[in-house]
Structure 1
């Protein structure tokens, strides 16, 4: 015999029911629900392998070095420009 689709609750009804039950919980029940959801999310986390970790670290370090060089270059150029515009050329200390 075929299942009757009308007998099954839709996803919207189930979601609304869960929201209603969550709204009726006390403060400790909400904290417990939150901690339960945190644990469930942490179970989904995939830790990288050692090789992936070194690869990711290398990429981040290379990006930081490139950005430091870029910002240092801009700082030097703008410093020279400000020295010429507002002073007597580049300042030497």
Structure 2
């Protein structure tokens, strides 16, 4: 799973304005017309993909939920939360 926040250089709690600003900065840096490096076009596509997901609130929510389920952010806290919900569900 790609870490779109890392691609844009953001924390997972970044605002939509911060996402937009980071996208513009990175897109200018790696745009194939401005950057002649061989990996620039691939990096630009990754940046565009990250922005497409993080700029749309619905896609971002789904992505964040998937990240949480995959234990990318704070694995011990997330595992504890998952187990607490599981135990509560079993006991009810």
Task: Give the TM bin, normalised by the shorter chain.
Answer: under 0.3
1 or 2, which has the higher helix percentage?
Answer: 1
Q: TM-score, normalised by structure 1?
A: 0.23
Q: TM-score, normalised by structure 2?
A: 0.23
Q: Which structure is higher in RCO with an 8 Å CA cutoff and minimum separation 6?
A: 2
